Amino acid sequence: MVNYIGVAGLRTLLQRMGVAPFIAALAEEIEADYRRWDQFEKSARLASHSDVGVIELMPTSDGAQYGFKYVNGHPKNTDLGLLTVMAFGVLADVETGRPVLLSELTLTTALRTAAMSALAARWMARPDCRRMALIGNGSQSEFQAIAFHHMLGVRELVLYDVDGGATAKLMHNLAQLPTLADLRVTRADSVAEAVRGADIVTTVTADKRNAIILTPDMIEPGMHINGVGGDCPGKTELHKDILLRPDVRVFVEYEPQSRIEGEIQQMPDDFAVTEFADVVRTGVSARRTAEEVTLFDSVGFALEDFSALRYLNRLAAEHPQAVRQIDLIPEVEDPKDLFGGTLGAAVKGKARLRRVA
């Protein structure tokens, strides 16, 4: 039998632990794995693109365990009553190849994306950041707000989305959370209004196109930009001249993948970036001056999902009530007799019934 954590199981874990502490603990898991960056197999995700979206596989291994995530991205799914992003993942033992965990990763992806955003900002943003602009108020926005409030002390959140209903939804959801009682949330009428005076700007829009959400004139000294929405070929959120500014320093997760999918897909191959692993392994803040503008060009990397799967697998042992077991793989007395150990009795029984008839 294989452990399975579904949506209900993850909800049980979050109710017991709290969403914000779960995100913070997951961020610690991710940071620890980035510190051992050289132990991981690394590759850009395998993507199957269509006119309406993308389906991707994201695998990695540290030599002891192997994990992968299946995930889609279909911006028009909301018109069909479906989520834009849906995912599941598997964690397996390298020595035997046996799966040890099958888990939902739709909700977990939102949690780990927020954890990674706040983790990167902890290394890159000014320590006195308190005001954040959140551009794009869809499915990821609540998680980003919770993470930055809990992990970085953000106390003022300014929202903007082209869909006013999405902003109203976000404001309603945040108002229901007692842990965010000291978070001041306001809505802006434009991107420019939202980012004015912001310490941190998070962009997390969903349109599958080369959009220009931020322009160079919106960027202020000392800002940290958390670019989350540009995460596949042909999908960006920032004007390329932002990246060319001399005061902007760009950080990525895994450079070969980011050059295909991130904001830096707009840039020449020799455009200089710094991988996040190189930051955490120095133990020194990535920010060189208070006036420098830092940009985390986030596309999501398989290591982060691997960290999430390992974290969930450990929680499965600590909270068995959140876990089910499923017969994903056969269990047989004789490992050389797959047929007899699984179908033999059933086939014999069917043959016997035919003879009686």
> Which residues pair with residue 225 across a beta bridge?
201, 295
Question: Does 231 qualify as catalytic in the annotation?
Answer: yes
303: its two tokens: 């290591």
Strand (E) or helix (H) holding 225: strand 224-227
Catalytic residue, from 33, 231, 297, 305: name it: 231
| 252 backbone dihedrals φ, ψ, rounded to 5° | -135, 170
- The residue behind tokens 């876990």 is 323
Q: Please report, as a single letter, which amino acid is at residue 161.
A: D
For 251-270, the DSSP string reads EESSHHHHHHHSGGGGS-TT
DSSP letters for 24-90: HHHHHHHHHHHHTGGGS---PPEEEE-SS-EEEEEEEE-SSEEEEEEEEE-GGGGGGT--S--EEEE
Distance (Å, whole) CA 24 – CA 115: 6
- Tokens 């082209």 identify what position? 162
Count of CB atoms situated within 10 Å of the CB of 241 = 14
* Burial 261-296, CB ≥16 within 10 A → b, else e: bbbbbbbeeeeebebbbebbeeeeebbeeeebbbbb
Active-site annotation, residues? 231
